[in-house]
A and B are shown apart, each in its own frame.
Chain A
Amino acid sequence: MNKNDKTHFRYITAQRIALASALFAVILSILLIANYIQTTSVDPLNSKALNQLMLELREDGDNDALKEQIRALDLLARKAYFTNQWQIRTGGFMLFAFVLAFLASLKYLSSLKRRFPDFEEEHESGALWEHNLLAKKYLIYGGLGLFALAFILGILSDSDLSGTGSGNDAETASFPSIDEIRANWPNFRGPGGNGHAYSANSPTQWDGPSGENIVWKTELPVDGYNSPVIWGNKIFLSGADDENQTVYCIDADTGAILWETMLDHVPGSPEDKPDVTEDTGYAAPTMATDGKNVFVLFGTGDTGCFDFDGTLIWSKNLGVPDNHYGHSSSLITYRGLLLIQYDQNSGGHLIALRTDSGKLAYDQPRDIEMSWASPILVNTGSRDELILNSNPYVMSHDPATGRELWRVDCMMGEVAPSLAFADGMIFAVNEYAVLAGITLESTPETAWETEDDLSEVSSPVANSEFVIVATSYGTVSCFDAKTGERYWYQDFSKGFYSSPVLVGETVYLMDMTGAMYIFNAAKEFNLINKCELGERAVAVPAFMDDRIYIRGFENLYCIGE
């Protein structure tokens, strides 16, 4: 066989190898794709037969034959799965080998071909120059195009960041940590609005009339039913009458009024103030602070943001609340957002304003009737939730977006008490409705309900074992947090509007005369002490740094040793 014959023979052989390997590769590809589709469409652990057997086992847990059947089926499913995996792996390697053979034969075939120029055409020496000119032209055009693109991108990317502030700004936004929040008293009922205080040694003995353990007492310039909020050594309160809306700041160490500022000339503020009842007033909502600024809401719908020196940062009117008693839901902040439960006769809203500017972040409509309760902000184990009590639902929202997370239908009437949270359970109460324990495992649902001793104003407080409820007619009850079983109840002569606060295992509960009852959260009622304030009070006390701050009707008291 001469050289040409050998080359021809090799050419034919390579061609045939290419064809054969291509054919095998295509067949294998189809089989692998079919296998892959089958594998992805079938979940071996979720087969109907297996699930059915598992359900049967739940009802008949001692059935050994059933267990063996499940094990056998499970083993079969796993074997099938791993066999499948082996098939895919082996098939893949075989496919690779066939593809390799195909490519190698194609490569050999192409190497036998020579590329020669068209000798009929003369090689033009000027052609190179033409190409160079073209190259220059497109290089310049391309360069200018990239130049323009880069320029535009550069400007756009700068403007994207300018609205939020670059890293070179003197003050950059940051949120207070959970420890910072717990070290202060930033909103109604303390950190998260849950009625828990994190002070180590709160006083248990004082007497307002005699001044025992009263560190200072400051006359309040303007009346209001809101409770004090504290950050650092600054206490913030608001007050309002028919003429003015006032925010003031008091030094927590000395009781001196540091500043007093009016919130007026708010764009959109109503000329005629809405009608409100005397026991609500225009300054019922408690303020809130995020450690940098303090926020206030009045019964006119006017809301404002002040810095800690009393300078107004922004103000806006949310619209006059359609509320026959007057708006009382308090404020709370979350990661740069001011959250407002704005439930009215005409429908409910969860409103979030950006704390730095007052701009609306979201306005989430709520499918509820009126409510005077305040939200609680808790981490329920896997996420932060803003949970609100209203008629007829206890409803949870994502505080960052306002999106509704879940709802439980368990309330009725004019809901004023806020919620309590402890150990994966929510506790909701309202007079003429129920006290409900809602479990948050998997799907939130009512775990128990009771109709004993229901509160109309005071919010409950709870820990993992007990739920404490105080009523406006003077009853205080203790329930089992898991079952709702009532351990004890006590009748007191005066009713309670203020909500109990839990300090460790100790409950602080103030009646309408300002008398503070201090007792243990336990299966039996054990009164530690009763301390008189000396004036009427309905606000929730603030606990911070081993001191208690109580707003009476006329004075703000600082209690400590």
Chain B
Amino acid sequence: MKKLLSAIAFVILNPTLALAQAVSRFPKPDFQSEYFRPSMQTPAAKSQLMEFLDVFVLIGALSLASYFALKLRSRRKMFLLMIFSLIYFGFFRKGCICPVGSVQNISLGIFNSGYAIPLTAIAFFALPLIFTLFFGRTFCAAVCPLGAIQDTVVLRPVNVAPWLAQVLGIFPYVYLGLAVLFASTGAGFIICQYDPFVGFFRFGASFNMIVLGISMLMLGTVVARPYCRFLCPYGVLLNWMSRLSKWHARISPDECINCRLCEESCPFGAIDMPTGDAQSNRDRNIKQLAVLFLLVPVIVLGSGWVVSRLHAPLSAQHSTVALADTIMLENSGARAFTTEESDIFRASGKPSEELFAEADILRDKFKTGAWVLGLFLGCIVCVKLIGLTMLKRHTEYTTNTGHCLSCARCFSYCPIEQVRLGNMAPEEAMKLKQSIE
């Protein structure tokens, strides 16, 4: 039955391609009568009211999410809030503006004085971070539409091996670095360009993005929230803020009794388990740590240098640089044909020298940016390696403050929580623990 339903799910999700590919092929009729075709008119500018309303809704949703997660500790309420956020921020507001993409607005605003960041973009960037700093990643659990759409398809999650999760955990940093680099140089907003879910919110996207979105959702049925855990660039910032959070969701409302019942409750692998007292091969670990610290400058500088070598292909993603490269290839005869872009450029009458000068400035920016990106990634790798070498001791089952999304899934597994809810007597909880032991 379950396999049948899974197969059916596969078949159902594919025909949405048909919708996405619907193309209007009917031109306007060629009227022979005296029909007067009205002239095109520009509609009035959209009111900004909705954008400010979005900010208020965001604040409200974040507040409620924090309240539901920390105070009421209710998974049901978190789920319902998540559905609301999916409908409002996703389908109603069509996924824009979202905090995930706002990173790029901030980057562009910092490095381009000609760009005026909308206040709503600043609000969408800052508010989730502020709430996370106090209450943990409640934004991820119940407010982010990208997380919400993935959460709705979590059906049979499997555990991703911790070592694999650690390795894949590098990619959000790479994505963040690239997004900041491209946004700050004006090359584009890649987070928005490659958002796999916005096509669903808008009922239309390119073929490739629809396929990517469907693939991501299908993967999400077995690997919980793959985009959030292994790609989301904003998640990097939320991770950092959450580690410093003043109040964070805890599995047990009181002291943990180490009953193990919550061990498999988290589909995101965000529960830190007791590590025991002994650390094997302590001396070897200390040596490794010492070597690592010595290698930090090598790794960081090496990473900076290698990524800086990529400044040419990275800068080629900028339309001005790509056009300059095209014109240069055509001028030198290395390419025997012209492109539409180069034809349009030549028809504009703008001197090629001006274009080449602009491209040179951009390439220099990319050189610097690539160095910074490389240094950043080098630092991250070093921090990860050091963190993996230093084993943090846990004596009870706790939420990993960086990775935990505060979704409240694990609360109901805890006998102490059941005691708090009045579903179980305290003695029963202790008996349960003993019976498991």
Give a binary string over A100-126; 1 marks a CB under 8 Å from any B CB, 0 the rest. 001100110010001111010001011
Q: Does B368 contact A (CB under 8 A)?
A: no
* Contact in complex: B5, A106 (CB < 8 Å): yes
* Nearest residue, chain A, Cβ from B76: A111
* Contact in complex: B167, A138 (CB < 8 Å): yes
* Contact in complex: A99, B12 (CB < 8 Å): yes
Report chain A residues within 8 Å CB of B360: 167-168
* Contact in complex: B276, A126 (CB < 8 Å): yes
Distance of B392 from chain A, by nearest CB (Å)? 9
* Contact in complex: A25, B8 (CB < 8 Å): yes
* Contact in complex: A102, B332 (CB < 8 Å): no
Give the complex CA separation of A155 and B346 in angstroms.
Answer: 31
What is the size category of the interface that chain B forms with chain A? 35 or more
Interface centre among A129, A140, A357 (most CB of B within 10 A): A129
Give a binary string over A1-44; 1 marks a CB under 8 Å from any B CB, 0 the rest. 00000000000000100110011011011001101100000011
Candidates B1, B11, B16, B308; contact of A15 at CB < 8 Å: B1
Report chain A residues within 8 Å CB of B436: 119
* Contact in complex: A157, B384 (CB < 8 Å): no
Report chain A residues within 8 Å CB of B328: 164-165, 167, 172-173
Give the complex CA separation of A155 and B305 in angstroms.
Answer: 12
* Contact in complex: B27, A150 (CB < 8 Å): no
**Known pairs A123-B273, A174-B352; A43 contacts B388 (CB<8 A):** no
Distance of A215 from chain B, by nearest CB (Å)? 33
* Contact in complex: A45, B391 (CB < 8 Å): no
* Contact in complex: B306, A154 (CB < 8 Å): yes
Distance of A90 from chain B, by nearest CB (Å)? 11
* Contact in complex: B12, A123 (CB < 8 Å): no
* Contact in complex: A174, B9 (CB < 8 Å): no
Report chain A residues within 8 Å CB of B352: 172-175
Give the complex CA separation of A359 and B275 in angstroms.
Answer: 70
Q: Does A177 contact B (CB under 8 A)?
A: yes
Distance of A401 from chain B, by nearest CB (Å)? 5
Q: Does A92 contact B (CB under 8 A)?
A: yes
Give the complex CA separation of A95 and B17 in angstroms.
Answer: 12
Complex interface: stretch among B105-113, B126-134, B150-158 = B150-158
Q: Does A337 contact B (CB under 8 A)?
A: yes
Distance of A15 from chain B, by nearest CB (Å)? 7
* Contact in complex: B336, A401 (CB < 8 Å): yes
Report chain A residues within 8 Å CB of B336: 352, 361-362, 400-401
Give the complex CA separation of A119 and B259 in angstroms.
Answer: 10
Give the complex CA separation of A248 and B359 in angstroms.
Answer: 39
Q: Does A163 contact B (CB under 8 A)?
A: yes
Q: Does A142 contact B (CB under 8 A)?
A: yes
* Contact in complex: B5, A33 (CB < 8 Å): no
Give a binary string over A72-100; 1 marks a CB under 8 Å from any B CB, 0 the rest. 00100010011001001100100110110
Consensus secondary structure, chain A interface: helix
What is the size category of the interface that chain A forms with chain B? 35 or more
Q: Does B19 contact A (CB under 8 A)?
A: yes
Give a binary string over A48-69; 1 marks a CB under 8 Å from any B CB, 0 the rest. 0000000000000000000000
Distance of B11 from chain A, by nearest CB (Å)? 6
* Contact in complex: A78, B331 (CB < 8 Å): no
Give the complex CA separation of A175 and B15 in angstroms.
Answer: 50
* Contact in complex: A22, B312 (CB < 8 Å): no
Give the complex CA separation of A158 and B310 in angstroms.
Answer: 9
Q: Does A443 contact B (CB under 8 A)?
A: no
Distance of A127 from chain B, by nearest CB (Å)? 8
Give the complex CA separation of A33 and B19 in angstroms.
Answer: 10
* Contact in complex: B275, A128 (CB < 8 Å): yes
Q: Does B313 contact A (CB under 8 A)?
A: yes
* Contact in complex: B309, A22 (CB < 8 Å): no
**Known pairs A139-B170, A335-B331; A107 contacts B312 (CB<8 A):** no
Report chain A residues within 8 Å CB of B306: 147, 150-151, 154
Distance of A66 from chain B, by nearest CB (Å)? 14
Give the complex CA separation of A356 and B330 in angstroms.
Answer: 12
Interface members, chain B 389-421 (any A CB < 8 Å)? 389, 391, 413
Give the complex CA separation of A150 and B276 in angstroms.
Answer: 41
Distance of B151 from chain A, by nearest CB (Å)? 9
Complex interface: stretch among B96-104, B117-125, B238-246, B260-268 = B260-268
Give the complex CA separation of A355 and B333 in angstroms.
Answer: 8
Give the complex CA separation of A337 and B170 in angstroms.
Answer: 49
Give the complex CA separation of A85 and B356 in angstroms.
Answer: 47
* Contact in complex: B153, A161 (CB < 8 Å): no
* Nearest residue, chain B, Cβ from A137: B163
* Contact in complex: A139, B353 (CB < 8 Å): no
**Known pairs A22-B5, A115-B265; A29 contacts B391 (CB<8 A):** no
**Known pairs A150-B306, A400-B338; A174 contacts B353 (CB<8 A):** yes
Interface centre among B27, B308, B325, B357 (most CB of A within 10 A): B325
**Known pairs A92-B19, A110-B154; A401 contacts B14 (CB<8 A):** no
Give a binary string over A429-459; 1 marks a CB under 8 Å from any B CB, 0 the rest. 0000000000000000000000000000000
Give the complex CA separation of A81 and B23 in angstroms.
Answer: 12
Distance of B206 from chain A, by nearest CB (Å)? 17
Distance of A335 from chain B, by nearest CB (Å)? 7
Give the complex CA separation of A174 and B328 in angstroms.
Answer: 8
Candidates B12, B22, B26, B280; contact of A44 at CB < 8 Å: B26
Interface members, chain A 332-359 (any B CB < 8 Å)? 335-337, 352, 354-357, 359
Distance of B94 from chain A, by nearest CB (Å)? 15
Q: Does A256 contact B (CB under 8 A)?
A: no
* Contact in complex: A33, B18 (CB < 8 Å): yes
* Contact in complex: A361, B273 (CB < 8 Å): no
Report chain B residues within 8 Å CB of A177: 349
Give the complex CA separation of A173 and B355 in angstroms.
Answer: 12
Report chain B residues within 8 Å CB of A203: none
* Contact in complex: B27, A45 (CB < 8 Å): yes
Q: Does B161 contact A (CB under 8 A)?
A: yes
Candidates A44, A88, A129, A136; contact of B279 at CB < 8 Å: A129
* Contact in complex: B26, A78 (CB < 8 Å): yes
* Nearest residue, chain A, Cβ from B302: A147
Q: Does B257 contact A (CB under 8 A)?
A: no
Distance of A228 from chain B, by nearest CB (Å)? 27
Candidates A117, A150, A155, A175; contact of B264 at CB < 8 Å: A117
Q: Does B324 contact A (CB under 8 A)?
A: yes
Candidates B14, B170, B331, B337; contact of A29 at CB < 8 Å: B14
* Contact in complex: A129, B280 (CB < 8 Å): yes
Q: Does A143 contact B (CB under 8 A)?
A: yes
Q: Does A132 contact B (CB under 8 A)?
A: yes
Give the complex CA separation of A123 and B155 in angstroms.
Answer: 25
Listed by A's residue number, 29 A-B pairs whose Cβ atoms lie within 8 Å are A19-B5, A33-B15, A36-B18, A43-B25, A74-B29, A88-B19, A92-B16, A92-B18, A107-B152, A114-B413, A123-B263, A128-B273, A128-B275, A129-B280, A131-B161, A132-B389, A136-B388, A139-B166, A139-B381, A147-B303, A150-B307, A154-B306, A164-B332, A172-B328, A174-B353, A175-B346, A355-B333, A361-B333, A361-B336
Q: Can you name 7 extra interface pairs (CB under 8 A) apart from A132-B388, A174-B327, A174-B351? A: A115-B265, A117-B261, A133-B163, A136-B385, A154-B308, A172-B331, A177-B349
Q: List residues of chain A with CB under 8 Å of any chain B CB.
A: 15, 18-19, 22-23, 25-26, 28-29, 32-33, 35-36, 43-45, 74, 78, 81-82, 85, 88-89, 92, 95-96, 98-99, 102-103, 106-107, 110, 114-117, 119, 123, 125-126, 128-129, 131-136, 138-140, 142-143, 147, 150-151, 153-155, 157-158, 160-161, 163-165, 167-168, 172-175, 177, 335-337, 352, 354-357, 359, 361-362, 400-401
Query: Which 3 pairs of residues, A with B, have the shortest CB-CB distance?
Result: A154-B309, A125-B276, A173-B331
